[in-house]
Amino acid sequence: MGPGTKNRQAQVAQQCREHLRRVYHTQAALVEEFIREIEGPEEEVDVSRWGQFTDPSRQTEAMLRRLEERFQEWLG
């Protein structure tokens, strides 16, 4: 995997984490638990798992909408 792909994966992961922490700041503990479930255990973090919320168009709004939908499902 090239450095461009790794950078893109890291950016997507950071965007998703920041979005969840900002929007659901009153549920911080649950957000952190959800993040751990997406990324895997701390010693084996895999930021590529955030890619499940992206699509070929790479539209940030659509990605964050899918992320929020998944988080709401996870809460429910």
What pLDDT digit, counting tens, does each position of 21-70 carry?
999 999 999 999 999 999 999 899 999 999 999 988 889 999 999 999 99
Helix axes 3-23, 60-75, angle to 10 degrees: 60
The token pair at 48 is 């590529």
- Work out the burial of residue 22: count CB atoms within 10 Å of its CB; fewer than 13 is exposed, 13-18 middle, 19 or more buried: exposed
* pTM (two decimals): 0.90
Q: How far is CA 53 from the centre of its chain?
A: 7
Dist CA 47 CA 12 (whole Å): 8
* Three-state secondary structure call for residue 24: coil
